[in-house]
Amino acid sequence: MSHQTPPASQTSSSGEKNAQAAADPIVSDTPSAASAVPVSAPPSGALTSKQWLQILSTFIVFFNTWGLLLTFGVFQTYYAQVLLPSHSSSSISWISTTCAFIILSAGIVTGPLYDCGFYAVLLLSGSLLQVLGLMMLSISTQYYQLFLCQAICVGLGAGIVFTPSVAAAAACLTSPAIRAKAMGLMACGSSIGGIIYPIMFRTLVSRTGFPWAVRAIGFVTLGLYLVSYLVLINRPKKPAMARRIFDASAFTDLPFMVLSVASLFSATAYYIPLLYLPLLAKIRIPHVQPHLASDLLAILNGASVVGRLISGVVAAKYGPTETISISLVMGSILLFCWIVVDTVTGMIVWSVFWGMISGVLVALPGAFIPLFCPSLAVIGTRSGMYWAWVGAGLLIGSPIGGAIYDVKAGKSDWWRLQVFAGVFMMGAAVLTVYPILHLRRKRRVETQESTVDLPALVA
């Protein structure tokens, strides 16, 4: 039997295509279309020690960034009742929503900087700036002081570390299935932070006062960031490349833009329960214990751990975009059901379900953003652009909700706030339909092309 050697031109063409694919990998949605595992990777899909260190570092970043965002409901209550009793709920909520906006929108700049190889600088400088902001917050008493320290300084520091860390985790996990599971695991850091930090604040503020309660949170934040620095050991330096702050192709990429607008809608509704759940619990249930109203956030965040872990497993099988669309539909239904909850048991049960559903919205973006990137070389840039849309939603959602219903007025029309959140969450669910259809159509085309090319490869 003779062996035919392919023509030199065909071999050269195939080699050029393979080299181009390796340099500019296109990310697909299903595990079967995952990028090739590097030669240095261990067998059976096991993760390397560097990948585990990156997962640990990103887990800590979620703990210290989103974990603090999930804690701001207890800060909102304390400011409204103790530090800033003369200010409206809407004006107080600007402190936390501005902080959230800066954390997420900072990725517009830090994403491209990550792509240029400045991950270590971003992680170190951002974490130290966030700790500085917490320490300065501990000695603040006036509205402008709280705003500058918590919204600006803490927000900017956390924003510098957040997007690069999520992008680094997504980039080092090339398999979509493994990436989805790992993102669910890493995002649990925000839930655990959302449990520990509110309990710390509520317990310490009554014993040591506001200054030392905030300082204790600052010390815990610093200690955890010191552990996250382990990811920088023996990390090869990436040569800096000239990149644009914005990926211009993203504005003509209709699926990515529709998904970004959907994130704006969902984020507008997402933060409202986190800020207003304790206050509305005290209004709807006058006999509720004060500590229970604050502990509702810890219950909510504890339940979100389960939701994030489950979402990672489900997303690995069915796709992260499909999974998040289902969570948006269920989230909108829960927000409408929130209107009729007026008992302690009902509030606890609702908090558990909302925590499980809403946690998916934070866990899965890191898994599906790469699916809408033409190349992993721009994953930081596009991640920054996506999270900026989320930040804009967090910025405007709660203040608008506070203007719709002022908690301090004591009126019975709180349902308007809940309807507002439910409508926006449902709008986000509708908008995710087109990106899902786009990915499925792309998957069918890739399958057909691979089927057509198979006989040529066999020959």
Most confident range (mean pLDDT) of 141-155, 262-276, 394-408 is: 141-155
> Does residue 449 carry a pLDDT above 90?
no
At residue 187 the predicted structure's pLDDT band, cuts being 50, 70 and 90, is confident
Residue located via tokens 């899965």: 364
Q: pLDDT value at position 33? A: 35
386/454 Cα distance (integer angstroms): 37
Q: pLDDT value at position 292? A: 74
Top-confidence residue, 410 or 365:
365
Whether residue 396 contacts residue 299, with contact meaning beta carbons closer than 8 Å, is answered with no
| Domain residue ranges of the chain, discontinuous segments joined by + | 48-235+246-458
Which pLDDT tens digit goes with each residue over 188-216?
Answer: 888 888 888 888 998 899 899 999 999 99
Q: pLDDT value at position 364? A: 81
Q: What is the rounded average pLDDT for all residues in the chain?
A: 80
Cα radius of gyration (the chain): 23
Q: pLDDT value at position 406? A: 65
Which pLDDT tens digit goes with each residue over 397-445?
Answer: 877 877 777 655 556 677 888 899 999 999 999 999 999 998 888 878 8
194/185 Cα distance (integer angstroms): 15
For the segment 100-123, the average pLDDT, to the nearest whole number, is 87
> Does residue 30 carry a pLDDT above 50?
no
Helix, strand and coil content of the chain, in percent to the nearest 5, comes to 80, 0, 20
193 token code pair: 């932070």
Q: pLDDT value at position 28? A: 39
> Does residue 60 carry a pLDDT above 80?
yes
Whether residue 300 contacts residue 354, with contact meaning beta carbons closer than 8 Å, is answered with yes
Strands (E), 202-261: none
CATH architecture of 48-235+246-458: Up-down Bundle (1.20)
301 token code pair: 């965040």
CA proximity to 131, closest of 177, 185, 65? 65
Residues 6+ apart with CB under 8 A from 442: 28, 29
At residue 23 the predicted structure's pLDDT band, cuts being 50, 70 and 90, is very low
Which pLDDT tens digit goes with each residue over 309-345?
Answer: 888 888 888 888 889 999 999 999 999 999 888 888 8
29 token code pair: 């949605």
Judge residue 53's burial from the number of C-beta atoms within 10 Å of its C-beta, 0-12 exposed, 13-18 middle, 19 or more buried: buried
Whether residue 427 contacts residue 397, with contact meaning beta carbons closer than 8 Å, is answered with no
199/193 Cα distance (integer angstroms): 10
